[in-house]
Amino acid sequence: MSMFKYILKRLGLLVVTFIISSTISFVMIRLLIPETGPMLGSQAMLEAVRREALGYNKPIMSQLWTYARNIVTNWDFGTSWNINYMTPVTEIISTRLPSTIILNVYSIVLSIPLGILLGIWAAIKKNKPTDHIISTSVMIFISVPSFVFAFFMQYTLAFRLGIFPVMASSLFDAGGSWFSWTMTRSLILPVLALSFGSIAGFARSTRAELTEALTSDYMLLARSKGLTRASAISRHAMRNAMVPILPGIVATFLGVLGGSLIIETIFGVNGIGPLFLRAFTTLDYDVFIGVSMFYFAIGLVTAIVVDLSYGFIDPRIRMGER
């Protein structure tokens, strides 16, 4: 019962936090909308009609009420005026989501198993050359920003050697298939750039947790009962080491929708990241607010699912208990 109350409490806090964050974002963006500058004749008239139709001339709280009412009653997050003229914000975001999801799914499929395997290998070979090589590589990949690797690979492997395309292919160029060889080949470099940090993070976490588990008392007890080292590691050490790591895997999967703003922009992936930047640079206010709310929702849902996953992964952990 306490777990159920805890879930309800967290969901309530999630909704409240989302409303507050979205309200602040809406108010700040709407306050930045400039007044009509000096214009001539019909241009000034059209701009005045446009501002009146969009409600920019009304008080800010009146604009907020209208915006919230449209979302609740019609699922209307506004309309784009600069990126795709008169196109609903929800339609623009939904058309950009597949590119972001495909890119991040490829990254997850590569980074999670590879990172965990490297961490296990480093822990088993602790204080040996293999461990030092993996630990040094992990430190480098965590310290250096992903966009540095992106530019380096784009220049060397794509521009200089011509092994991969410089930019990601569009769906039209890939023959209309997200899983064609043309599309997959063009996404190899952005996937690698996006994966280096995740691989290093999972390797570091796995090594730390597994190293601690290998030196614990229950491992000594398991070995004294006659279990082989491999059996003791697989049956006892790995199970305990994965408890703090699995929530990170859950967060990685949920973060698929969030995408990578910088990597997508560098390689020209037509995803959520470039949309966010373009909405900002073109002053497409409704699109900018809509994408901001989308990011808020992904972050909040990820946080609550990760918290709840601890209790499901390890029955000894009970969320909401005193």
pLDDT at residue 104, rounded to an integer: 85
The answer to whether residue 40 scores a pLDDT higher than 50 is no
115 pLDDT above the threshold of 80: yes
pLDDT exceeds 70 at position 302: yes
Give the pLDDT confidence score for residue 185 in this predicted structure.
87
88-98 mean pLDDT: 89
* Mean pLDDT across 98-119: 88
Among left, alpha and beta (phi > 0; psi -120 to 50; other), residue 41 is left
Distance CA 261, CA 265 (A): 6
At residue 17 the predicted structure's pLDDT band, cuts being 50, 70 and 90, is very high
Q: Among positive and negative, which fits the CA dihedral 204, 273, 266, 163?
A: positive
- 240-256 per-position pLDDT tens digit: 777 777 777 777 776 66
Q: Categorize the per-residue pLDDT at 316 as very low, low, confident or very high, splitting at 50, 70 and 90.
A: low
Q: CATH says 90-313 is which class?
A: mainly alpha
* In the chain, domain spans: 90-313
Q: What is the mean pLDDT of the chain?
A: 81
Asked whether residue 236 carries a pLDDT value surpassing 80, the answer given is no
pLDDT of residue 313: 64
pTM for the model: 0.79
Q: Tell me the two tokens of residue 170.
A: 């569009």
Q: What does the pLDDT read at residue 42?
A: 59
CA distance 16 to 302: 16
Least confident of 90-99, 129-138, 179-188: 179-188
Please check whether residue 198 is in contact with residue 112, taking contact to mean a CB–CB distance below 8 angstroms: yes
Quote the pLDDT of residue 173. Answer: 72
* pLDDT exceeds cutoff 50 at 50: yes
Using one digit for the tens of pLDDT, what is the confidence trace for 156-192? 999 888 898 888 887 777 777 777 888 888 889 999 9
Read off the DSSP letter of residue 39: -
